[in-house]
Amino acid sequence: MTAILIGLVILIVFIIIAVRAGISKEETLPDAPRERVIHMSGIYSIIRNSPREDLLRLRPSEEILRQYLADQNVDMYNVSLGDSDKSALLEHWKMQMDINLREIENGDKTDVVFYYYDFPQACPACAPFVTRGHFVSREEVYCNPRIIPPFHLGCTCTLVAHHGGADLRDTNITGLTPFFTGETAPSLPEWTSVISLPKTSEVTSDNI
């Protein structure tokens, strides 16, 4: 009888040890950190989740934009802003957000690694910060979704997929320069900088 009891106690102790070992194993599983990951080949491994939600979290909501515009009578060049100009700016902001996010989402379907900034119309608020031909890697976009334009109200900056096979970090192509000079994200315009949209009749094909 005693032998059976001792046997049972030993069995229970073993079960408890086994269960605790299982639990601690689950607890020590690491979370997936948002860090740069470099393959042995030297090519960044990219986690190609759409940056849409991250970007929407970072940017002011439509309501905040609307309230801000309601208090503005002129843009940063003292051009007066009417109600229709303000509505157009809000629609333009939403449209540009969508265009740039779609460019990345579509690029992910074909494993695009690099994107460059382009300015179909000059954007004076962006000019001190980012110019045509500055490029970023998909990994940099993943780590810093805030580098996706538009950067401010009335911003005409767009992100364009680079479909070539070349590694743009080693490129000699004229006009293409890396946007990041180190690990830190470069400065960008404040979203509160307002630039009136060109009237339809005044749209030109001038680039920066």
Three-state SS string across 124-190, please? CCCCCCCCCCEEEEHHHHHHCHHHCCCCCCCCCCEEEEECCCCCHHHCCCCCCEECCCCCCCCCCCC
Q: Which is nearer to Zn ion, 125 or 168 (CB)?
A: 125
Stretch binding Zn ion (CB under 5 A), from 8-16, 83-91, 123-131, 134-142 = 123-131
- The span of 67-75, 105-113, 118-126, 158-166 binding Zn ion (CB under 5 A) equals 118-126
Nearer to Zn ion, 34 or 146 (CB): 146
Q: Give the nearer residue to Zn ion in terms of CB position, either 113 or 155.
A: 155
**C-beta of 186: minimal distance to Zn ion in Å?**
14
CA–CA distance, 168 with 70 (Å, rounded to integer): 42
Q: Which two tokens stand for residue 183?
A: 């690990």
The footprint of Zn ion on residues 98-117 (CB under 5 A) is none
Residue 161 or 197 having the CB closest to Zn ion: 197
Residues in 132-191 at the binding interface with Zn ion, rule: CB under 5 A? 155, 157
Task: Give min distance, CB of 93 to Zn ion, in A.
Answer: 11
| Residue (46 or 188) nearer to Zn ion, CB | 188
Residues that contact Zn ion, how many (by CB under 5 A): 5
Q: Backbone phi, then psi, for 91, in 5-degree steps?
A: -65, -40
The secondary element (H helix, E strand) that includes residue 115 is: strand 114-118
Among 126, 136, 153, 168, binds Zn ion (CB under 5 A): 126
Using an 8 Å Cβ cutoff, are 123 and 155 in contact? yes
Nearest approach, Cβ of 32 to Zn ion (angstroms)?
33
Binding Zn ion by CB under 5 A: which of 46, 123, 168, 188? Answer: 123
**Contacts (Cβ under 8 Å, ≥6 apart) of 35:** 143
Burial zone of 113 (CB within 10 Å; 0-12 exposed, 13-18 middle, 19+ buried): buried
Query: Across the strands, what pairs with 137?
Result: 114
Positions that interact with Zn ion (CB under 5 A): 123, 125-126, 155, 157
